[in-house]
Amino acid sequence: MTGAAAGVFYRVDRHGPPLPDGPVIVAANHPNSLVDPLLIFRCSERIVRPLARAPLFDRVFLGPVLRALGAIPVYRRQDDPDEMHRNEEMFRAAIDVLRGGGAVQIFPEGKSHSEARLAEFRTGAARIALQAEESADWRLGLSIVPVGITYSRKELARTAVTVRFAKAIRCTDLKEEYEEDPIAAAQKLTARIAKGIRRQTLNFDHHSDRTLVEVSEQLYVRQSRWVPWRRRERLGTRFPRLQRFAMGLDWIRRADPQEHRRLNDKLERYAALNAELRAGEGDVPPRYYFLPVAKYVLVRGALLVLGLPLAAAGLLLWTPVTRLPRFVVRRVRPEYEVTATIKLLTLLAGVFATWILVVFLGYLVGGTPVALATALLAPVCGFVAMLWVELAREVREDTSLFLRLQGRPDLRIHFAQARSELTEAFRRLEKRWKEERRVGSVQRKGDR
């Protein structure tokens, strides 16, 4: 249920192969406290028991959820040095799950954080994997699946998140090395896990770099006519392009700092102008055509009109509940890292309590038939209201931009010129990047 709630709280898309059968360690990055294991739970085809910091089990909201997920407590030095010896219990519990053919999820960074790139990896996941294989005489067949979780804005409800599952890696080839030097073997396996997670995440030197990468990718795909104007793509669909742009930005910063500064200045000006017009992800079209505009008005207008009755009922019933998380966060003032977790759990509690109350009132009014109808219609109306509000917000943004651009061909021309210049710069730099990588590859082959 909590996994499903996380899937409604955010707009989630999953990518990658399904989890393999047998014992599995899911190793993921950790940007969003308890929400991360809930999303893995939501996107997995199996029950995946998380490892979590021991103090969280004593929290009023978090403790019951962790126990319901079958979480295994981890005792960290920074939480309580006197409890460190109990990590032997954690290792035994995790290994028992794996030897029973189960799955556990581990966050090798060892903490939830909001840094622009992955934190330093701990060796705990690798040590559990190696010890589990050793305990089964290296015949366990353990799979380690790197997972990357990327949020659009993790603190806000209904923003995009992509959960990317990589191909499983193994560790039985490290048997001899582990028998000779367990520490070196754990470090080697940790490096493999880190590489796998890095390939499924976006990593930057600075938070501002992500904004520039998103703006770059957004204008490039539309200028290249890969994506229609004003279409909002899913984060998972954009991810490979965003990752490539991030790699390119990092390369140009190192290879040619002056060119990087010039490109950076142009992108910042373009992003500022885009934000001033409140164009959003769809950017500013070079022009509007009658037939696409007419189709847009008819389709979305019909959806808004047809969905209005159920949406109105849902808004009337559920709006007070959706305001509750904001009220609780203002009163509790949690750390930024757990803000989304508190919001999600508060919303889940509010929805459940409201649903029980509405069903009870339905029973009082009309008995069992009305109670059953209310039990079904209340969540349906809420779901329709959520989609209706998102569509209405999108239509309002598109309509507002359309009206602001009327009579302003100079603005559209200015945007078109800026996009053309930036796109040409991207293509020139991409050609240079490919050539440099080709030369580097030839040199490495020659060195061999």
Would you say residue 229 has pLDDT above 70? yes
pLDDT of residue 380: 96
pLDDT at 54: 84
* Domain-terminating residue out of 198, 222, 237: 198
The CA distances from residue 379 to 3, 30, 386, 389, 419, in Å, are 17, 31, 11, 15, 44
Domains: count for the chain: 3
Predicted confidence (pLDDT) per residue in 372-394, tens digit:
999 999 999 999 999 999 999 99
Examine residue 169 and state whether it is found in any structural domain, yes or no.
yes
Residues 163, 245 share a domain: no
Confidence grade of residue 160 (pLDDT, cut at 50, 70, 90)? very high
User: Are both 59 and 83 inside the same structural domain?
Assistant: yes
- Is residue 131 one of the residues assigned to a domain? yes
Residue 29 belongs to a domain with what CATH number?
Answer: 3.40.1130.10
Q: Which tens digit of pLDDT belongs to each residue from 27-43?
A: 999 999 889 999 999 99
| pLDDT for residue 98 is more than 90 | yes
pLDDT of residue 327: 92
Same domain, 16 and 111: yes
β-strands 103-106, 48-53: how paired? parallel
**Could you tell me if residue 119 is inside a domain?**
yes
Domain end among 198, 218, 250: 198
149 & 98 share domain? yes
Average pLDDT estimate for 303-323: 96
Q: Distance between CA 101 and CA 15 in Å, rounded?
A: 24
* pLDDT reported for residue 446: 63
Phi-psi region of 138 (alpha: psi -120 to 50; beta: other; left: phi over 0): left
Whether 442 is in a domain gets the answer no
Inside any domain, residue 37: yes
Q: Are residues 30 and 177 in the same domain?
A: yes
**Pair 50, 187 in one domain:** yes
pLDDT of residue 62: 76
Residue % of the chain over a pLDDT of 70: 97
> Domain check: are 253 and 389 in the same one?
no
Task: Name the more confident of 2 and 64.
Answer: 64
**Residue at 353 is within a domain:** yes
Question: Does any domain span residue 422?
Answer: no
Q: Which residues lie across from 148 on neighbouring strands?
A: 164
Look over the chain and give the mean of its residue pLDDT values, rounded to a whole number.
Answer: 91
351-383 residues labelled b (16+ CB within 10 A) or e (exposed): beebbeebbeebbeeeeeeebeebeebbbebbe
Which pLDDT score, from 0 to 100, does residue 83 have? 74
Model confidence at 444, pLDDT cuts 50, 70, 90, reads: low
Which has the higher per-residue pLDDT, 80 or 58?
A: 58
Do both 35 and 141 map to the same domain? yes
Tokens of 203: 């990593």
Q: Is residue 155 part of a domain?
A: yes
Confidence of residue 406 (pLDDT cuts 50, 70, 90): confident
Residue 32's nearest CA partner among 340, 279, 300 is: 340
Last residue of a domain, one of 138, 170, 198: 198
Q: Is the pLDDT of residue 283 over 90?
A: no
Point out the least confidently predicted range of 72-81, 98-107, 117-126, 145-154: 72-81
Domain that holds residue 222: 202-283
Q: Count CB neighbours of 292 within 10 A.
A: 13
The pLDDT value recorded for residue 2 is 64
Confidence band of 447 (pLDDT split at 50, 70, 90): low
CA separation (Å) from 155 to 35, 37, 117, 246, 337?
Answer: 11, 16, 18, 23, 9
Average pLDDT over residues 73-97: 83
Confidence of residue 293 (pLDDT cuts 50, 70, 90): very high
User: pTM of the entire structure?
Assistant: 0.91
How many CA atoms does the CB half-sphere of 5 hold within 13 Å? Answer: 20
Could you tell me if 102 and 83 lie in one domain? Answer: yes
Mean pLDDT for the stretch of residues 219-242: 92
Question: Do 230 and 252 fall within a single domain?
Answer: yes
Average pLDDT over residues 237-247: 94
Categorize the per-residue pLDDT at 412 as very low, low, confident or very high, splitting at 50, 70 and 90: confident
Q: Is 312 left (phi over 0), alpha (psi -120 to 50) or beta?
A: alpha
Q: What is the pLDDT of residues 129-146, one digit of tens each?
A: 999 999 999 999 999 999
**Residues 120-135, mean pLDDT to the nearest whole number:** 96
Is the confidence at residue 196, as pLDDT, over 80? yes
Confidence (pLDDT) at 40 = 94
Residues 149 and 222 reside in one and the same domain: no
Do 179 and 210 reside in the same domain of the chain? no
